């Protein structure tokens, strides 16, 4: 498939001719998703997708365009209208130029078994999730995404690759409580519907009889989904070369802004990473250490933000990064060796939180965020979970929460976690933190 996509990309570059700088990204594949609610499958969807994105620069004037039709007539029309738009623009004094030729290693990451996964196999995974609840009301989804991509530009950079991802994510509901579970892998064969369903059901059962807790500062043990949301917010709003350049980020390079146990990096080049190993500008993704031993160590760049600081792109351009900036999409929080049971056993009085919900930034520079707990919030007293509490609202700086002296434990359970910005972006463990500011309860 990738050879065919490369042929399309080459064709568009050729159509653009020598009068323009051109970069072309072609993606194609299939995405399928099986949704269930009230313990039965109610929506079962799929699509065969193809997209051609073009950026053209004519005499320093840039424009972009896209189409989902890869026939010659559509491609010629795409080139013509994009060139016409570009000529009408004012010159871009900061145009950084196209990515130079550079090879990408191990670009074909699609698992053959996942490519071949059927609606029947997804239904079987859902069936196992539902059955594991023993009569609880189940809801969630199981999906498979297989994407091939090819990039070419008029500087001679040509790369292609493929990726696959499978996920099951769901809840069990008892009528007064809910518990969640999440699994993501490159291989559909790794998805264990029964295991995920059992965890969700256990959390739901433990949630029965929840009481309202007085808001305040509590020590917390956060499950990977809650940690995943913290980390993607740090990445999107903080370790983003554009946000840093604009003065909107908390990042102070070389400063111990985090606890010394924190090591955070982004590495789309890791053969185990999800997604493609190159960005939408054709630059190979590089490993970037963002935090090392608690010291803020780096930020990610696309070609434009790198040019502003006299550096090189780190391979983190995304669609629309001209506006939102480069974003780390293969984040890893490392260094954990604490069993979760031991972290809980170390807490005298605190809370265990399975997931956060509806998190929004109140102030970007200090990264103060408000949100709620969901699908599993439990009281920890004298080292053991003693009961469930109703969902709580928090208002908390995500940077300060991981600040020096604040990280009391890092779990040995790192995995791909769900997050506020979606699946597959982070691989993180559980964390034990000294304090988390809960500012409201069920009664507001």
Partner 1 sequence: MFDYATAAVEGALAAGAVYADARVVVSRSESLEVMNGRVERVDRAETAGVGVRALVGSSWGFFATADLGGEAVRAAGRRAAETAKASSRVPGDPLQLADVPVVEAEYETPHQEAPLGVPLSEKVDLLLEVSTTMQTVDGIALARGSLRFWDTDKWFVSSQGHRIHQHLVESGGGFDATAVGERETQRRSFPQSFGQYETGGYEVVRRWDFAGNAERIAEEAAALLTAEPCPEGEKTIILEGSQLALQIHESVGHAIELDRILGWEAAFAGTSHLELPRLGTHRYGSELMQITADATLPGALGTFGYDDEGTPAQRVDIVRDGVWVGVLSGRDSAALAGLPPGGMVRADGFNRLPMVRMTNVGLLPGASSLEEMIAATDDGIYMSTNRSWSIDDRRLNFQFGCEIGWEIKDGSLGRMLKNPTYTGITPQFWAKLDMLAGEPEWVHWGTPNCGKGQPIQVAHTGHSASPGRFRAVRVGVKG
Interacting residues with partner 1 between 52 and 81 (CB under 8 A): 62-69, 78, 81
Pairing of strands 158-173, 393-397: unpaired
Q: Which residues contact 356 (CB under 8 A, 6 or more apart)?
A: 225, 226, 229, 371, 372, 373, 374, 394, 420
Name 103's Cβ contacts closer than 8 Å, sequence gap at least 6.
159, 284
Q: Considering beta carbons, is residue 172 or 286 the nearer one to partner 1?
A: 172
Angle of helix 2-16 versus helix 72-87 axis, rounded to 10: 40
CB of 161 to partner 1, least distance (A): 22
Q: Does 397 bind partner 1 (CB under 8 A)?
A: yes
- Closest to 144 measured CA to CA, from 99, 185, 98, 92: 185
Three-state DSSP class for 317?
A: coil
Q: Does 246 bind partner 1 (CB under 8 A)?
A: yes
**DSSP letter, residue 59:** T
Site string for partner 1, 361-390 (x = CB under 8 A): xxxxxx-x-xxx-x----------------
Using CA atoms, how far residue 340 sits from 198, 274, 286, 343, 391, in Å, is: 18, 25, 31, 5, 21
Cα-based torsion angle of the residue sequence 57, 58, 59, 63 in order, rounded to the nearest 10 degrees: -50
* C-alpha to C-alpha distance for 91 and 431, rounded to whole angstroms: 49
Q: Which sign does the torsion angle of CA 351, 357, 363, 365 carry?
A: positive
Interface with partner 1 (CB under 8 A), residue from 159, 196, 332, 359: 359
Minimum CB distance to partner 1, residue 227 (Å):
18
Q: In angstroms, what is the minimal distance from the CB of 320 to partner 1?
A: 7
Using rule CB under 8 A, residue 444 touches partner 1: yes
- Establish if 1 lies at the interface with partner 1 (CB under 8 A): no
Pairing type for strands 407-410 and 137-153 reads unpaired
CA quadruple 381, 385, 388, 391: dihedral sign: positive
162-201 residues near partner 1, rule: CB under 8 A: 169-171, 173, 178, 180
Regarding 34 and contact with partner 1 (CB under 8 A), the answer is yes
Cα angle 122, 68, 8 (rounded to 5 degrees) comes to 105
Q: How far is the CB of 40 from partner 1 (least distance, A)?
A: 3
Helix and strand totals (H; E) in the chain: 11, 19
Chosen residue from 7, 40, 101, 311 binding partner 1 by CB under 8 A = 40
Among residues 346 and 397, whose Cβ is nearest to partner 1? 397
Interaction between residue 232 and partner 1 (CB under 8 A): no
Which C-beta is closer to partner 1: that of 66 or that of 386?
A: 66
Phi, psi of 59 (to 5 degrees): 50, 45
Choose between 378 and 394: whose C-beta lies nearer to partner 1: 394
Nearer to partner 1, 215 or 256 (CB): 215
How far, in Å, CA of 209 to CA of 193, rounded?
27
Residues 132-151 interacting with partner 1 (rule: CB under 8 A): 137, 139-141, 143
Task: For residue 18, count other CB atoms closer than 10 A to its CB.
Answer: 8
Query: By C-beta, is 335 or 440 nearer to partner 1?
Result: 440
Contacts of partner 1 in 85-124 (CB under 8 A): 85-86, 88-90, 92-94, 118-120, 122-124
Determine if 48 is a binding residue for partner 1 (CB under 8 A): yes
Which of 393, 416, 424, 428 forms a contact with partner 1 (CB under 8 A)?
A: 393
Which residue, 214 or 360, has its beta carbon nearer to partner 1? 360
Examine residue 396 and tell whether it contacts partner 1 (CB under 8 A): yes
Three-state SS at 112: helix
Segment 287 to 346, residues that bind partner 1, using CB under 8 A: 320, 322-323
**Binding status of residue 253 toward partner 1 by CB under 8 A:** no
Name the residue nearer to partner 1 (CB basis): 43 or 255. Answer: 43
Stretch that binds partner 1, among 30-38, 201-209, 262-270, 271-279 (CB under 8 A): 30-38
Shortest Å, Cβ 131 to partner 1: 9
> How many residues sit in the footprint of partner 1 (CB under 8 A)?
93
User: Closest approach of Cβ 338 to partner 1, in Å?
Assistant: 26
């Amino acid at each position: 498939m990738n050879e065919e996509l490369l042929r399309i990309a080459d064709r568009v570059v050729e159509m653009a001719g020598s009068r323009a700088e051109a970069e072309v990204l072609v993606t194609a594949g299939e995405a399928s998703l099986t949704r269930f609610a009230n313990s039965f499958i109610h929506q079962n969807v799929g699509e065969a997708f193809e997209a051609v994105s073009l950026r053209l620069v004519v005499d320093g004037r840039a424009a972009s365009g896209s189409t989902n039709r890869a026939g010659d007539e559509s491609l010629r029309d795409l080139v013509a209208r994009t060139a016409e738009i570009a000529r009408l623009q004012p010159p871009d004094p900061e145009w950084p130029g196209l990515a130079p030729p550079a090879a990408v290693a191990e670009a074909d990451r699609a698992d053959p078994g996942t490519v071949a996964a059927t609606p029947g196999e997804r239904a079987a995974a859902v069936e196992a999730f539902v059955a594991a609840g023993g009569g609880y009301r189940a809801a969630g989804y199981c999906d498979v995404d297989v994407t091939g991509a090819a990039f070419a530009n008029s500087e001679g950079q040509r790369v292609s690759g493929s990726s696959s991802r499978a996920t099951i994510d769901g809840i069990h509901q008892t009528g007064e409580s809910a518990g969640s579970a999440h699994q993501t892998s490159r291989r559909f064969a790794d998805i264990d519907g029964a295991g995920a369903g059992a965890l969700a059901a256990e959390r739901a059962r433990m949630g029965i009889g929840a009481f309202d807790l007085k808001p305040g500062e509590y020590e917390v043990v956060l499950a990977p989904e809650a940690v995943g949301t913290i980390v993607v917010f740090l990445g999107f709003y903080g370790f983003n070369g554009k946000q840093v350049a604009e003065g909107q980020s908390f990042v102070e390079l070389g400063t111990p802004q985090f606890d010394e146990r924190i090591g955070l990096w982004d590495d789309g080049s890791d053969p185990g990473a999800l997604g493609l190993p190159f960005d939408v500008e054709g630059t190979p993704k590089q490993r970037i250490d963002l935090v090392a031993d608690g010291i803020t160590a780096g930020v990610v760049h696309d070609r434009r933000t790198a040019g502003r600081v006299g550096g090189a792109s780190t391979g983190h351009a995304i669609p629309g990064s001209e506006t939102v900036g480069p974003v780390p999409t293969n984040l890893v929080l490392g260094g954990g060796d604490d069993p979760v049971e031991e972290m809980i056993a170390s807490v005298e009085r605190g809370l265990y939180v399975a997931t956060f919900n509806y998190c929004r930034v109140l102030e970007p520079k200090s990264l103060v965020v408000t949100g709620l707990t969901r699908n599993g919030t439990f009281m920890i007293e004298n080292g053991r979970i003693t009961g469930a509490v109703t969902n709580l609202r928090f208002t908390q700086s995500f940077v300060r929460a991981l600040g020096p002296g604040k990280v009391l434990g890092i779990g040995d359970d790192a995995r791909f976690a769900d997050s506020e910005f979606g699946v597959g972006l982070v691989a993180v463990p559980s964390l034990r933190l000294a304090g988390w500011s809960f500012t409201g309860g069920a009664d507001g």
